[in-house]
Structure 1
């Protein structure tokens, strides 16, 4: 496998780890997907703008109403700028369940526009902008 193919695989793995950490509500692992100086913007979905740690604190409260949340991504495009930086776009879908006698299901979908950089710990998200496409009953 050449270096670019390996880097593409590692970036795709980073995005999968992000999705699993979100679904598992493993906020430490989720924050670990970002650089120390990362900036995130989830405002199109009513979410936070700021640091990943701030976002994790907000999301942990927001997601407490759901007993299940599944996050998946795909359609990943990666454009490299040198050896250590990439512009990445990917689609996500998140399905959530509000518990009860008659559980309520919701689905949100959109895409991420990311700047991902190589660090001493591997590829990490340096800048993430979420563009919400829709929220609907699932």
Structure 2
């Protein structure tokens, strides 16, 4: 395999930054930042985890409503496989996402631990790399029993 060119290295770093901005947008509930990660005509498929499939505006509205229930989430994106060909690229990146959901008593939380892969088709635009298509792949989803409340001293 020949050494990577400066352009290839730059593209990889820009795509890595894009994936980080996506996670940051979701976790901060900064929906404008989240939306800026996608092309206008992007298709997003979250059905593997019980979500929806649709365009950016439709999925954004669904995410805003859904994520409002979770005061804490932490999307970590790892083990990125990126293949670049000119102005297009594909990426398969693992994610680990713990989230908490408050229960009625206000003291306990239901903890979610979810993992899978983001399978993306990316496009270089005048604004940099953007996601043109995202499909989630399911690996696991676990809930921690809320009755296992940690003791506090």
TM-score after normalising by structure 2: 0.86
Q: Note the aligned Cα RMSD (angstroms).
A: 1.2
Partner of 1:50: 54
Partner of 1:18: 22
CA distance in 1, matches of 2:57, 2:35: 6
* Residue 136 (structure 1) aligned with residue 139 (structure 2): no
* Residue 107 (structure 1) aligned with residue 110 (structure 2): no
Partner of 1:95: 98
Cα deviation, residue 137, structure 1: 2.0
Which segments of structure 1 move beyond 4 Å, counting only runs of 4 or more?
A: none
Cα deviation, residue 63, structure 1: 1.5
Question: Residue deviations 1:19-47, cap 9 Å, x none?
Answer: 00010111111011000111111111111
Cα deviation, residue 10, structure 1: 0.4
CA distance in 1, matches of 2:26, 2:126: 23
Unaligned runs of at least 5 residues, structure 2: 145-153
Larger radius of gyration: 2
Partner of 1:34: 38
Cα deviation, residue 58, structure 1: 0.5
CA distance in 2, matches of 1:34, 1:92: 18
CA distance in 2, matches of 1:122, 1:61: 28
TM-score after normalising by structure 1: 0.94
CA distance in 2, matches of 1:95, 1:31: 22
Question: Residue deviations 1:54-78, cap 9 Å, x none?
Answer: 1111111112221111111010111
Partner of 1:72: 76
Unaligned runs of at least 5 residues, structure 1: none
